[in-house]
Amino acid sequence: MIGDPSTYYRLAFDLFCIEPETKPIYRIYIDGYLITERTYLWDSKETYVREELYLILEKGRHKLTVESLASRKIFLVANATLNEQDITIIDSEFTVDF
């Protein structure tokens, strides 16, 4: 069994890049587990990409990490939601409490 459907969550956030012209590669981790690796590409009308991750999570604290494969940090996470409810990510951590 994959899991109780009540544990499925949709984490969405805007990912901004301060050097988008370099088309940097980034990795997204949740609690240290690699979820995806992507190249930063965006619609020319926007200055960010909207990430949507479908996850099975337990209630409690979780850590979101966006790792740049460039030599320095060039990404910013904003406007995060969990199952369409606004959440705050502080020091890369968020809480699942519903």
**78: alpha, beta or left? (left if phi > 0; alpha if psi -120 to 50):** beta
CB atoms within 10 A of CB 35: 16
Are 27 and 69 contacting, i.e. CB atoms less than 8 angstroms apart? yes
CATH class of 5-96: mainly beta
Q: What CA–CA distance (Å, rounded) separates 28 from 34?
A: 6
Report pLDDT for 20.
82
28-56 per-position pLDDT tens digit = 999 999 999 999 887 666 788 999 999 99
Partners of 50 in the β-ladder: 14
Where are the chain's structural domains? 5-96
Report pLDDT for 31.
95
